[in-house]
């Protein structure tokens, strides 16, 4: 008899995005006319085409694959040297941050990396997550058997939730208890919050004191507009001893469909063996990648490399300007509609408070039915997301403007 991993059965059915899709489909079936004017500001996916520099580089790479002399088969599991070098130089060393080329691991996505990283950590860790939170951190811990069952608001026993509220600016302070692994994400999805240098310093100091590891998701780093806000956890002294950083080309280069990201595992990062021996994490992650992964495709890595050229960088800035212009339009619109609005300044997400007495799924249904706009209900990101909804700025400018108009026309 085969046994299954029944931790999967603990996962809340009707996971956020399938449930949204179900409600949107039902709405479209019932309202064929209104369905035609539907605007999606729900899922966090980019909408604009790839930068020209990427297209050119990928075409060229495909042509190389077409000739026996320049054809390439399996590449290095950790990523091609040409890409890791550009990453370490442009994203870190040029900013005065010490990261070696071989501390970069190129992958097919940060979502995968955030989940896969659990492979190299034990099952006895106390794990902290922000609430609301990117669901991947929570669900992968459920799958790995690190939790008990979920309660009615979707919180799992066994995880430590760090509440993100308007009172703390959606940036939780370090807890009094000891955590072994902590997921932090700044700029944040879904709240759009950013952490200051001082706030991150408190987390790094906490991690060093408690010998914890911070899993730092910086997928939206390129959206930071405030000067002085750290783009990398490694800007904080001591972080090389206690943090892993996840970055992705999805949201800056528009690679959500192309698939390329990377993880930084400093060689100076240690964790304990069961016997209490303080041991480097880097060789374990290297081993994990070379055993369970066979590298990102060559044309994709050439495409990612092109994001670091002068043209590539300018084209990325142009994409970010576009999405953040939308964010500004949406923020203004939601404010003019009388809503309390957060985020949307250093992240492509607006985190809006629902009017008093209206739950976040109720707000979702009202906005869908009356404005024909799809947003994401905050409750889907955790219990502390109840009472909020997320508007994504990934759209055309015309759609963002239309959504802003429709939000203002809504009568709550």
Ligand X SMILES: *Cc1c(COP(=O)(O)O)cnc(C)c1O
Binding site for ligand X (CB under 6 A): 44, 109-111, 134, 185, 189, 217, 219, 248, 250-251, 256, 261
Query: Minimum distance between the CB of residue 261 and ligand X, rounded to whole angstroms?
Result: 4
Query: Minimum distance between the CB of residue 362 and ligand X, rounded to whole angstroms?
Result: 25
Query: Minimum distance between the CB of residue 355 and ligand X, rounded to whole angstroms?
Result: 27
Reduce the DSSP state of residue 248 to 3 states and report it: strand
Query: Minimum distance between the CB of residue 136 and ligand X, rounded to whole angstroms?
Result: 7
Largest CA distance in the chain: 67
Beta carbon nearer to ligand X, 135 or 299: 135
Residue showing the smallest CB distance to ligand X in the complex:
109
Interatomic CA distance for residues 95 and 90, integer angstroms: 8
Phi, psi (rounded to 5 degrees) for 261: -155, 180
Beta carbon nearer to ligand X, 79 or 402: 79
Query: Minimum distance between the CB of residue 106 and ligand X, rounded to whole angstroms?
Result: 11
Beta carbon nearer to ligand X, 110 or 346: 110
Beta carbon nearer to ligand X, 114 or 403: 114
CA-CA-CA-CA dihedral for 191, 196, 202, 208, to nearest 10: 90
Task: Count other Cβ atoms within 10 Å, centred on residue 272.
Answer: 14
Task: Count other Cβ atoms within 10 Å, centred on residue 177.
Answer: 9
Query: Minimum distance between the CB of residue 288 and ligand X, rounded to whole angstroms?
Result: 17
Asked if residues 101 and 322 have their Cβ atoms less than 8 Å apart, the reply is no
Beta carbon nearer to ligand X, 142 or 337: 142
Beta carbon nearer to ligand X, 111 or 322: 111
């Amino acid at each position: 008899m085969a046994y299954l991993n029944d931790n999967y059965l603990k996962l809340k059915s009707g996971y956020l995005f399938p449930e949204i899709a179900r409600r949107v489909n039902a709405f479209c079936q019932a309202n064929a006319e209104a369905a035609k004017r539907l605007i999606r500001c729900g899922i966090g996916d980019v909408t604009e085409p790839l930068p020209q520099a990427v297209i050119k580089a990928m075409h060229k790479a495909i042509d190389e694959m077409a000739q026996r002399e320049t054809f390439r088969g399996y590449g290095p599991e950790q990523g091609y040297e040409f890409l890791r070098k550009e990453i370490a130089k442009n994203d870190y060393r040029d900013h005065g941050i010490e990261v070696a080329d071989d501390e970069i691991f190129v992958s097919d996505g940060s979502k995968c990396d955030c989940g896969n990283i659990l492979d190299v950590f034990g099952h006895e860790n106390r794990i902290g997550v922000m609430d609301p939170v990117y669901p991947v951190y929570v669900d992968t811990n459920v799958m790995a058997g690190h939790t008990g069952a979920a309660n009615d608001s979707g919180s799992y026993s066994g995880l430590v939730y760090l509440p993100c509220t308007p009172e703390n600016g959606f940036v939780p302070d370090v807890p009094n208890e000891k955590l072994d692994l902590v997921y932090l994400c700044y700029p944040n999805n879904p709240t759009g919050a950013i952490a200051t240098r001082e706030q991150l310093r408190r987390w790094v100091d906490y991690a060093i004191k408690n010998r914890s590891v911070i899993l730092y998701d910086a997928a939206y780093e390129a959206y930071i507009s405030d000067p002085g806000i750290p783009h990398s956890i490694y800007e904080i002294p001591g972080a090389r001893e206690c943090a892993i950083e996840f970055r992705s080309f999805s949201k800056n280069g528009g690679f959500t469909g192309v698939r390329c990201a990377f993880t930084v595992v400093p060689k100076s990062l240690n964790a304990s063996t069961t016997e209490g021996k303080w041991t480097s994490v880097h060789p374990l992650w290297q081993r994990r990648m070379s055993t369970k992964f066979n590298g990102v495709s060559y044309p994709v890595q050439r495409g990612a490399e092109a994001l670091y050229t002068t043209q590539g960088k300018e084209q990325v800035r142009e994409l970010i300007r576009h999405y953040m212009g939308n964010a500004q339009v949406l923020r203004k619109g939601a404010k003019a509609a009388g809503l309390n609005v957060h985020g949307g300044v250093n992240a492509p997400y607006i985190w809006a408070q629902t009017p008093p007495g209206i739950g976040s799924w109720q707000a979702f249904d009202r906005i869908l039915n009356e404005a024909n706009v799809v947003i994401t209900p905050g409750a889907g990101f955790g219990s502390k997301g109840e009472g909020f909804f997320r508007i994504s700025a990934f759209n055309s400018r015309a759609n963002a403007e239309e959504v802003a108009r429709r939000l203002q026309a809504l009568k709550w």
